[in-house]
Amino acid sequence: MDLLLSSLDILARWDVALALLVGSVGGVLIGAIPGVGPAVAIAILLPATFSMDPIVGLTVLLGIYGSSMYGGAIPAILINTPGTAVNALTTYDGFPMTTRGEARRALSLAYSASFFGGIFSVICLILFAPVLAKIAPMFGSREIFLAALLGIILVVTAHRGQTLIAAALACLGIFINTIGLEPVKYSKRYTFDQSYLSSGINLIVVVLGLFALSQAFFLLQGEDEKTRITKLKGGLFQGLRELGRHPRVAAVSASFGVVMGMIPGVGEFTAQFMSYTYAQKSSKRPQDFGHGSSEGLIAAETSNNAVPAAAMVPLLALGIPGEALTAMMLSVFYVHNVVPGPQLFQNQMDFVMALYLALLILNVMVLVFLLFATNQLIKVVKIPNRFLGVCVLTLSFVGVYSLRNSATDCVIATVFGVLGFVLKRLSLPVVPIILGMVLGGIMEVKLRAGMARVKTPFDFIDRPIAMILFLVILGVLALHIRRVWLDHKLIKEARWSTKHSSTRFGAHLLRRKNFISTERGKTVRARRSTLSHRSTDKD
């Protein structure tokens, strides 16, 4: 009880209340605009949060992170264009409802499912916090190094079909982090006698370049399109009642979101597809999925909104971000000398609980805002892409320059902006670079600290948690190698069956290959769902 009161005392400030309001409303607006997304917004806001108290800055960023998925459902349902990448699966059943004249029902159901997923995950984590407080101190330098290594491996292996390029980009991020003064003896590395490289390449400069500037370039080179949206009539409260008719789907989907969110490098996409697959297989009407199924919409929206709170677990408990957005938040901690990790749970448990309570309040504020302001909110979908591009470009350069009043940082950000633009045009991942920079720095420091007491290789994993993490790493690598081998085998079978499709056995192999390709294609299409242009298939 004392912990709860102490946490509420941290939140009972006018600036925290304002941060809750700005984060919740701003995140919904950002999510509702196709082509921007939370990563761009958080990257632009990062320099401003450095002058705020940690709880205020993190509340704003958490608000944008969590509420953007609510807003992203609006264009996904109304114009078949996901507002954020994780709302791609929402289009499968949300837009067919709109074409049937059930847009109000679809939005109401999406809001309700998102609210349930967000509240469910926060409550789970509040109940789980005491356990984390006991487990976190068991992590020493070696355990954190292995956890960071596992995070990089999971991020790389999660990019199915792009594993090698994801690994190369993660290594690039690790290399970029080594530029400048090394953290122990402060000797120069890879500076080439250039004074501006002595302090290293700032993470925020890279983030703004890869996410904000690259997206601005993408928006500017596109064309503006006119979007017609029909005004919604009636209230949006019926989704709360309809959600109650599918408690099993909602609970299981939220559970998938919590579990997947706590695993670094996995995130919303895996949680969504596991939830959607479960809902379809357990449904009495599986044929409706992809054609306007309420269960499919619940599964997609519940699972993705359960992830943000869960993603804070590895960040707060171990100081290890699971994806790009939590990596950006990590920089806010460091600027204010608040170090996430075991000591945070031991010494500042009230601060951790305050963040969870802030997420709880944010979900309530977002739902109330959406239930009463959706008709006004849908107008932001009509904002021209090029105007958005100019705004993002201007704000990005202002943010970069304000970090250190350095024109050199603006040049470096532009270079990374071009790199990010090229990667997006080639449909290649950007996230591994950021996580490589963040996790690479953690791995280097913890490895050096851990090696001080290591005499043999086995000494590095002679403790229970270190051994478990090591075995998990081996298991992940083994499963990935097996999957690559099966994919290779399937390709060989497909080539043979194409040659011999006239035979019965060859035709069977060809049907099997087409079925598997269709299932995997759903994941690929969702991952590559564009945020930079509006769909030509408009209502």
Q: What is the CA 158 to chain-centroid distance, rounded?
A: 13
DSSP designation for 232: P
Residue-level pLDDT at 272: 78
Identify the bridge partners of residue 96 per DSSP, sorted by sequence position.
Answer: none
Asked if 165 and 428 touch (Cβ cutoff 8 Å), the reply is yes
> Where residue 536 falls among pLDDT bands split at 50, 70, 90?
very low
Percentage of residues of the chain with pLDDT beyond 90: 2
Q: Would you call 180 helix, strand, or coil by DSSP?
A: strand
Indicate if the pLDDT at residue 124 is higher than 80: yes
Give the whole-angstrom CA distance, residue 19 versus residue 66.
13
Q: Hey, which of 78-87, 236-245, 385-394, 469-478 has the most confident mean pLDDT?
A: 469-478
Handedness of CA 527, 530, 531, 535 (dihedral sign): negative
Beta strands in 211-273 (DSSP E): none
pTM attached to this predicted model? 0.75
Q: Would you call 188 helix, strand, or coil by DSSP?
A: strand
Give the whole-angstrom CA distance, residue 505 versus residue 512.
11
More reliable by pLDDT, 475 or 223: 475
Residue-level pLDDT at 334: 74
Residue-level pLDDT at 256: 85
> Where residue 537 falls among pLDDT bands split at 50, 70, 90?
very low
Q: Would you call 1 helix, strand, or coil by DSSP?
A: coil
Give the whole-angstrom CA distance, residue 470 versus residue 461.
7
Asked if 166 and 159 touch (Cβ cutoff 8 Å), the reply is yes
Indicate if the pLDDT at residue 90 is higher than 50: yes
Residue-level pLDDT at 507: 54
Asked if 409 and 401 touch (Cβ cutoff 8 Å), the reply is yes
Percentage of residues of the chain with pLDDT beyond 70: 86
Residue-level pLDDT at 226: 63
Residue-level pLDDT at 16: 84
Helix, strand, coil percentages (3-state) for the chain, rounded to 5, are: 75, 0, 20
Q: Would you call 181 helix, strand, or coil by DSSP?
A: strand
> Where residue 527 falls among pLDDT bands split at 50, 70, 90?
very low
User: For residue 151, which of 377, 453, 473, 485 has the smallest C-alpha distance?
Assistant: 473
Identify the bridge partners of residue 188 per DSSP, sorted by sequence position.
Answer: 181
User: Angle, nearest 10°, between helix axes 54-78 and 14-32?
Assistant: 30
Q: What is the mean pLDDT of the chain?
A: 78
Residues 6+ apart with CB under 8 A from 222: 385, 386, 389, 532, 533
What are the CA-CA distances from residue 282 to residues 17, 46, 246, 279, 484 (Å)?
42, 43, 12, 5, 29
The tens digit of pLDDT for each residue in 451-494 reads: 777 777 787 888 888 888 889 889 888 988 888 888 777 777 77
The tens digit of pLDDT for each residue in 15-67 reads: 888 888 888 888 888 888 776 777 778 887 877 777 788 788 888 888 888 88
Residues 6+ apart with CB under 8 A from 185: none
More reliable by pLDDT, 218 or 385: 218
Using left for φ > 0, alpha for ψ between -120 and 50, and beta otherwise, residue 186 falls in: left
User: For residue 274, which of 263, 260, 284 has the smallest C-alpha distance?
Assistant: 260
Q: Would you call 189 helix, strand, or coil by DSSP?
A: strand
Q: What is the CA 461 to chain-centroid distance, rounded?
A: 31
The tens digit of pLDDT for each residue in 286-343 reads: 777 777 788 888 888 888 888 888 888 777 777 777 677 777 777 777 776 777 777 7
Residue-level pLDDT at 224: 62
CA quadruple 221, 326, 150, 171: dihedral, nearest 10: 40
Rg over alpha carbons for the chain, rounded to the nearest Å, is 23
Residue-level pLDDT at 519: 47
> Where residue 419 falls among pLDDT bands split at 50, 70, 90?
very high
More reliable by pLDDT, 486 or 507: 486
